[in-house]
Amino acid sequence: MLKIEDPSCFWVTMKGCGPYIVDEIEYKNLNAEMNQFYDKSCENVDEVKPVTLEKGQICVVFSEELKCWCRAVIKSIMYCAGHYQTECFLVDYAKYTIVKTKDVRVAMKAFMQIPYRAKKCRLHCTKPVTLRVNFCEDTAKIVPAQRWDNAATQYFQSLLKATTQIKAKLCAVEDNTFDVILYVTIKDEKVCINDDLVSKNFARFVETEEDTGSPAKDQENQTSLNVESFPVKIIDPTLAFRPVLFEEKVPMNLETGRNHVFQKQSNRQYELTREKFLGPTFTESYCWPPVARGCDVVAISHQGNDPFLYIPPVLTFLQSGSCYKALPNRNGPLALILCPGWKKAQLVFELLKTYGRCSRQLHPMLIILGQNKEEAKRVKIQGCDVIVTTPYSFLRLYEHNCLLFCRLCHLVFDEIEVLFSEATEQVFTILDCYKKTIITEEWEYLPHQIIAVGTHWNKHTARLIKEFMNDPYVVITAMEEASIYGNVHQVVQHCVSSQRTAILLKMLDFTPNHLQKVLVFTDSVDEVEMALKSNSIFALKIHKEKEFNFTYVLEHWTKSYASGNHVVLVLTDDCMQFLGITDASCVIHFSFPSSPRIFGQRLYNMSDNFHNESSVDQEHTKARSVVLLTENNICHALGILRYLKRAKAEIPLELHDFTARVLEAEEEKKFARPLCTYLKAFGICKNRTVCPDRHQINLQIDMLQNMPDKITQTSGCVTILPLHIVNATNYFGRIVDKQQDRYTTLAEEINEYFKETSNKIPIKKAEKLALYGLCEETLFHRVQVVETPPKEENLFFNVKIKYIDEGRTRQVQSSQLLHLPARFQHLPPQAVEFIVCRVKPIDNEIEWNPKVTHYIHHKIKGKPHEAKIVLALGNTLWIDPMVRVTRLSDLKMYVNEYSVRSEILSTGLGTDNPEHVTQLQKTKYDQKAPRTTGILF
Ligand SMILES: [Zn+2]
């Protein structure tokens, strides 16, 4: 491999035999003869000097770099600094060189007998593609392209660099270019580069129109390429994420440093492509460069909870070990990633492991700590460069490890708005500690960076920027969030639809010293125009039915304002993106926006007038948005109202009732949904507004099912047998009847029955909801088919089944199901759901840490426990307490071995939840009682 420009243009030398191949020794001989000849000819220069020179001419020139005479083709001639220069391409070395015109020699025929050693190649049938980003839809597509992307070329180069052997299959020759299929060997694995580029979405496969019938085709055409004699020269290694900020402070050889980073980068790219990564999204393309340069960044986007917004560029920055050389030589992380909960932290940690593994070892650590002090003391952070954790866990660790900040350069907040709402105090404590460290003198030349990503702008984010960041990049791609950031003044006018025009005119009451550029969004442009005309207000208008005349409208929009007049433009939503207005001072929503996204786009027309608190300056025109809310907008008002509340709009009192009604209507629509699991488990659901499930107990729907009669008759004390552990406080199992355990008898009978081989009758077709027998290890169970695949292809398709006496579900092959005689089907399903009350996860988490679930699983599964029922609904029992009672065999005495709730609390991962059952009972829906409205927003 001599030189690589891109996959459609690279130069190689070929080994082996074939019509185009010349032995390496012949070249050596040629070289020697040629050098002897031209060295000698110095005396009679004129004889070997060409009379004329032109582009494309073949000649011989002396290469200063190679210190020898070389065959060359003239690429260009230019006049420079008083003499003519020619740019030549050395045809045996695939190198460009510049020589003075007077130093060019005639190519003697004798030296032109053998072919050029450098062969120009391109990948056979492999054509470039590119990523086309649609900014409006926030989507990215791969489309055919004329040129190769840098990413594709870099990937191609990286493959060739990593290879130990290159083989090429010659497919065609056209215009002195060889079409080849390249096979490389990387770590003992043979890879076809042509196929690899296509499969990684760097290229597309294009069939040739006609077979060129190359003679090479029919021959033994595996040709080895000479790979060892020349180093690969990288043309323009555009390093998208290369940290440049500290370059001047890095005294080492820049060139090697660059290649080093490049190598790491391409490895990650390889990892990215392996995972079918199509390229950065719209937000990522804005976010990654400043993050990779080490700047402070805030990114708010609809995809703001995706850790990919920061992981690749942060990893890239962390590669440049030299940036950190001045740090104290101690233990402590370079980067801290704070996530809102253990689950997210785990995800981020997994991603770091995946994408960090081809680089400098960063030894990321996932730290989730409970309230047990011993646990925090045991944590060792030696050699760890990146910590992924939650604010609570981090502060617990900090209590025992005061060195956590001594090397901390990068502080990342994942889902910033959730962090701020669930752990405000903790986040600011961490920020304060970080600030104290980095204001010291020795930090002046060290990287220090805060990154915050999320989906919502919030007032704490403004404080974060103002007090802790240094000239940050604020990337907001969610337009409605941009308007909160930009302090748009939100006005909500509640009115009946017939009053809308009157309100509009009131809003347009222009005062002469306050010029306005107003956009009125409406579904019926004519209605608004008429109203304005009758009040002698001139307005521009544009809508889809009318022929679009953007130039005219835009011209007047700018002109009349410049001449000191108010300007009003009446338009429909579909015209907005074509106009691209950003300097409106007021937006009136005459027609209600159909979604928060459209609402955001409308507001974006005022983006020039967005001013953040940190840059508050009374001189600015304040952007204003006026929403006209009528009785017709009820169905999509909720989302917008929730948004307006965040935007600190003053919501008229009557609208509170209105939203309460909307919320109630929303909740009523969910009557067929199951009762929300969070509501059941902890008494509240934090995401009520987006949670699809029901949040109201309805005694008609939630009446008891499959419960033994005795439950309701006794004092509520039962013996339970947990068999399937969902999490620390939620299990499925059976109630054991102490007098007459009918299920145990049945189970014995079933197992006895299936012992007989002739009784094991496989079923022909699995029917949904039907009961069957299933053997698991040595025991037979009653199971019910709950889901069948849409199409039955053969007998071996998978069905989802439920163990009706235990409560767990599983996928099995339908051929495993056995016919279950009717007499075994009479006893109702035994599985009951149990919920242990008055305990919830620490740190405002909504899901149990797997550690505590695991612990409880091993403690209780399959063992009888005594429990007192405090609430029973549907197939669920709430129990408090749940204790394990054992009998001391010698004495006739029973002792409480443990209580499940106390066991959970003792892990340090659970905390008291005294309101659990009372909260839950509050949601009881009673038709006679007056409605109580829940939390509105
Ligand atoms: Zn819910």
Mean pLDDT of 506-520: 78
Report how far ligand 1's centroid is from the alpha carbon of 689 (Å): 8
pLDDT for the residue numbered 787? 84
Summarised one tens digit per residue, pLDDT across range 357-410 is 766 778 899 999 999 888 888 888 888 899 999 999 999 999 988 888 989 999
Mean pLDDT of 672-697: 89
Residue 856 belongs to a domain with what CATH number? 2.40.50.90
> Who wins on pLDDT, 510 or 490?
490
Mean pLDDT of 307-314: 92
Q: Is the pLDDT of residue 798 over 50?
A: yes
Report how far ligand 1's centroid is from the alpha carbon of 542 (Å): 44
Residue 780 belongs to a domain with what CATH number? 2.30.30.140
The DSSP bridge partners found for residue 683 are none
Residues 571, 447: contact at Cβ < 8 Å?
no
Report how far ligand 1's centroid is from the alpha carbon of 787 (Å): 24
Q: Is residue 231 part of a domain?
A: no
Report how far ligand 1's centroid is from the alpha carbon of 136 (Å): 32
Report how far ligand 1's centroid is from the alpha carbon of 404 (Å): 37
Report how far ligand 1's centroid is from the alpha carbon of 631 (Å): 28
Residues 477, 300: contact at Cβ < 8 Å?
yes
pLDDT for the residue numbered 433? 93
Tokens coding 201: 């979405």
Q: Which residue has the tokens 């927003």?
A: 937
Provide the pLDDT confidence category of residue 494 given band limits of 50, 70 and 90: confident
pLDDT for the residue numbered 215? 37
Between 336-340, 481-485, 646-650, the lowest mean confidence (pLDDT) is in 646-650
Mean pLDDT of the chain: 81
Report how far ligand 1's centroid is from the alpha carbon of 685 (Å): 5
**Residue from 386, 321, 324 nearest 356 by CA:** 386
End-of-domain residue from the set 631, 665, 699:
665
- Cα separation, 809 vs 801, in Å, equals 6
Report how far ligand 1's centroid is from the alpha carbon of 845 (Å): 14
Residue 396 belongs to a domain with what CATH number? 3.40.50.300
Report how far ligand 1's centroid is from the alpha carbon of 846 (Å): 11
Global pTM? Answer: 0.67
Report how far ligand 1's centroid is from the alpha carbon of 573 (Å): 34
Report how far ligand 1's centroid is from the alpha carbon of 913 (Å): 17
- Cα separation, 94 vs 114, in Å, equals 16
Report how far ligand 1's centroid is from the alpha carbon of 590 (Å): 34
Report how far ligand 1's centroid is from the alpha carbon of 690 (Å): 8
pLDDT for the residue numbered 285? 86
Summarised one tens digit per residue, pLDDT across range 182-236 is 888 877 778 888 888 888 778 888 776 444 433 333 333 333 333 333 333 332 2
Report how far ligand 1's centroid is from the alpha carbon of 600 (Å): 27
Write out 814-871 in H/E/C secondary structure: HHHCECCCHHHCCCCCCCEEEEECCEEECCCCCCCCHHHHHHHHHHHCCCCEEEEEEE
Mean pLDDT of 747-772: 89
Helices (H), 164-229: 193-199
Rank 95-99, 216-220, 724-728 by mean pLDDT and report only the highest: 724-728
Report how far ligand 1's centroid is from the alpha carbon of 677 (Å): 7
Residues 117, 92: contact at Cβ < 8 Å?
yes
End-of-domain residue from the set 74, 99, 116:
116
Residues 145, 187: contact at Cβ < 8 Å?
no
Q: Is there a single domain that holds both residue 192 and residue 62? A: no
Report how far ligand 1's centroid is from the alpha carbon of 722 (Å): 25
Report how far ligand 1's centroid is from the alpha carbon of 539 (Å): 48
Report how far ligand 1's centroid is from the alpha carbon of 730 (Å): 16
Summarised one tens digit per residue, pLDDT across range 845-873 is 999 999 999 999 999 999 999 999 998 88
Q: Is there a single domain that holds both residue 64 and residue 204? A: no
The DSSP bridge partners found for residue 453 are 299, 414
Report how far ligand 1's centroid is from the alpha carbon of 893 (Å): 44
Tokens coding 632: 């017709």
End-of-domain residue from the set 454, 477, 500:
477
Q: Is there a single domain that holds both residue 783 and residue 887? A: no
- Cα separation, 768 vs 38, in Å, equals 91
Tokens coding 409: 């350069």
Report how far ligand 1's centroid is from the alpha carbon of 671 (Å): 13
Report how far ligand 1's centroid is from the alpha carbon of 693 (Å): 5
Instruction: State the angle between helix axes of 416-438 and 459-468 in degrees (0 to 180), rounded to the nearest 10.
Output: 10
Between 237-241, 270-274, 395-399, 526-530, the lowest mean confidence (pLDDT) is in 237-241
Stated as kind and residue range, the H or E segment containing 299 is strand 297-300
Q: Is there a single domain that holds both residue 543 and residue 649? A: yes
Report how far ligand 1's centroid is from the alpha carbon of 696 (Å): 10
Report how far ligand 1's centroid is from the alpha carbon of 628 (Å): 31
Q: Is the pLDDT of residue 531 over 90?
A: no
Q: Is there a single domain that holds both residue 189 and residue 91? A: no
Q: Is residue 230 part of a domain?
A: no
Report how far ligand 1's centroid is from the alpha carbon of 666 (Å): 13
pLDDT for the residue numbered 283? 87
- Centroid of chain to Cα 507: 43
**Ramachandran assignment for 378, one of left (phi > 0), alpha (psi -120 to 50 degrees), beta (any other):** alpha
User: Concatenated DSSP letters for 305-364?
Assistant: T-GGGTHHHHHHHHH-GGGGTTS-SSS--SEEEE-SSHHHHHHHHHHHHHHHTTSS----
Report how far ligand 1's centroid is from the alpha carbon of 834 (Å): 18
Q: Is residue 1 part of a domain?
A: no
Q: Is there a single domain that holds both residue 913 and residue 775? A: no
Mean pLDDT of 58-80: 85
Residues 480, 503: contact at Cβ < 8 Å?
no
Q: Is there a single domain that holds both residue 292 and residue 411? A: yes
Q: Is there a single domain that holds both residue 837 and residue 789? A: no
Report how far ligand 1's centroid is from the alpha carbon of 927 (Å): 22
pLDDT for the residue numbered 219? 36
Q: Which residues surround ligand 1, an ion (CB under 5 A)?
A: 676, 678, 685, 691, 693
Return phi, psi of residue 94, to 5°.
55, 50
Q: Is there a single domain that holds both residue 100 and residue 42? A: yes
Using the CB atoms, write b or e for 249-263: b if 16+ within 10 Å: eeeeeeeebeebbbe
What percentage of the chain carries pLDDT values higher than 90?
26
In the DSSP assignment, the letter for residue 248 is: G
Residue 490: CB atoms within 10 Å: 22
Q: Is the pLDDT of residue 431 over 90?
A: yes
Q: In what order do the strands lie in the sheet with 139-144?
A: 139-144, 126-134, 203-205
Provide the pLDDT confidence category of residue 513 given band limits of 50, 70 and 90: low
pLDDT for the residue numbered 265? 43
Q: Is there a single domain that holds both residue 509 and residue 445? A: no
Report how far ligand 1's centroid is from the alpha carbon of 636 (Å): 20
Report how far ligand 1's centroid is from the alpha carbon of 879 (Å): 21
Q: Is residue 174 part of a domain?
A: yes
Summarised one tens digit per residue, pLDDT across range 818-829 is 999 999 998 889
Q: Is there a single domain that holds both residue 802 and residue 858? A: no
Tokens coding 441: 């003198």
Tokens coding 504: 């509009």
pLDDT for the residue numbered 236? 29
Provide the pLDDT confidence category of residue 96 given band limits of 50, 70 and 90: confident
- Which amino acid makes up residue 294? G
Mean pLDDT of 236-240: 31
Q: Is there a single domain that holds both residue 817 and residue 872? A: no
Q: Is residue 6 part of a domain?
A: no
Using the CB atoms, write b or e for 857-873: b if 16+ within 10 Å: bebbeeebbbbbbbbbb
Q: Is residue 3 part of a domain?
A: no
Q: Is residue 860 part of a domain?
A: yes
Report how far ligand 1's centroid is from the alpha carbon of 912 (Å): 21
Helices (H), 698-822: 709-713, 742-755
Summarised one tens digit per residue, pLDDT across range 4-44 is 888 888 888 877 766 667 777 888 888 888 888 888 877 77
In the DSSP assignment, the letter for residue 651 is: P
Report how far ligand 1's centroid is from the alpha carbon of 128 (Å): 48
Summarised one tens digit per residue, pLDDT across range 833-847 is 999 999 999 999 999
Q: Is residue 5 part of a domain?
A: no
Q: Is the pLDDT of residue 307 over 90?
A: yes
Q: Is the pLDDT of residue 892 over 70?
A: yes
Summarised one tens digit per residue, pLDDT across range 325-363 is 888 878 889 999 999 999 999 999 999 988 877 667 788
pLDDT for the residue numbered 196? 85
Pairing type for strands 876-888 and 832-836 reads parallel
Report how far ligand 1's centroid is from the alpha carbon of 903 (Å): 27
Report how far ligand 1's centroid is from the alpha carbon of 920 (Å): 12
**Range(s) of the domain holding residue 50:** 23-116
Report how far ligand 1's centroid is from the alpha carbon of 675 (Å): 8
Residue 669: CB atoms within 10 Å: 10
Report how far ligand 1's centroid is from the alpha carbon of 684 (Å): 8
Summarised one tens digit per residue, pLDDT across range 244-262 is 333 333 333 333 332 333 3
Report how far ligand 1's centroid is from the alpha carbon of 832 (Å): 21
Between 339-348, 435-444, 557-566, the lowest mean confidence (pLDDT) is in 557-566
Report how far ligand 1's centroid is from the alpha carbon of 686 (Å): 7
- Which amino acid makes up residue 759? N
Report how far ligand 1's centroid is from the alpha carbon of 936 (Å): 14
Compute the half-sphere exposure of residue 560: CA atoms within 13 Å on the CB side of its CA.
17
Domain count, the chain: 6
Report how far ligand 1's centroid is from the alpha carbon of 458 (Å): 24
Rank 589-603, 614-628, 831-845 by mean pLDDT and report only the highest: 831-845
Report how far ligand 1's centroid is from the alpha carbon of 90 (Å): 72
Greatest C-alpha distance within the chain: 123
